[in-house]
Amino acid sequence: MSLAVVFSRALAGLDAPLVRVEVHVGGGLPCTNIVGLPEKEFREARDRVRAALSNARFDSPGGRVTVNLAPADLPKESGRFDLPIAIGILAATGQVPGKQLDKLEFAGELALSGELRPIRGALAMTYRAHREGRAFVLPETVAAEASLAQGATILPARTLLDVVAHLHGQPPIAPYACTRECVQPRYPDLADVRGQAQARRALEIAAAGSHSILNL
């Protein structure tokens, strides 16, 4: 297909509104245009995505690529849209299947080698994606932060190739399993105090009589 839609998230304070990354590949001279109120970072995103696709051995589109970030009245910043733009281009050119795209959301900055770099707002974006019933694909380095959104399905990836392999089902990315340690509180004990006999006695008397230490 020549048109693909990939879901991602912007940041607006503590909220993470949905962004539809619409990618169309048509005729004409090879070029990439990004519309939909992008910030200055998107001037560089085109080159990052093109280099990442090339270094990952994917075919570059032979025509005019138009990327629309909807809604158009919502400002978009940072490199978090690199990954959804790359996936949209691959889906629009038939290099990855598009059947899972409506169940997933993507965010991640691409290095020129195709590796995924950390992004801001992983927790807010994952929380909103979970509320809308979609799993979130993001860089492995921010998976621990995203896991604070309880119950969310987080698919951590190291590279663009990991994400493409997941869409092909060979092999799928294993959901992030958060292991939290339960640390028992350790309250101070006067037995740990050496010396200071007068101060210890004052604390013991205050504790025995439920008195305020400030009154001593």
In this predicted model, what pLDDT tens digit does every residue of 26-63 receive, in sequence order? 988 888 888 887 676 667 888 899 999 999 999 988 88
When pLDDT is cut at 50, 70 and 90, the band that residue 105 belongs to is very high
Instruction: Name the residue ranges covered by the structural domains of the chain.
Output: 3-168
Q: Which two tokens stand for residue 17?
A: 């509104």
Per-residue pLDDT band for 14 (boundaries 50, 70, 90) equals confident
pLDDT tier at 215 (50, 70, 90 boundaries)? low
When mean pLDDT is compared across 138-142, 157-161, 187-191, the lowest value belongs to 187-191
Q: What is the pTM of this model?
A: 0.81
Taking each helix axis as running N to C, give the angle between helix 42-55 and helix 82-92, from 0 to 180 degrees, rounded to the nearest 10: 60
pLDDT above 80 (res 139): yes
* pLDDT recorded at residue 13: 84
Task: Answer yes or no: are the C-beta atoms of 90 and 6 closer than 8 Å.
Answer: no
Question: Is the pLDDT score of 191 beyond 90?
Answer: no
Half-sphere exposure (Cβ direction) of 19: Cα atoms closer than 13 Å: 31
CATH number belonging to domain 3-168: 3.30.230.10
Compute the mean pLDDT over every residue in the chain, rounded to the nearest whole number.
89
Q: Can you give the pLDDT at residue 182?
A: 61
Which of 183 and 11 is assigned the larger pLDDT?
Answer: 11
Average pLDDT over residues 182-199: 76
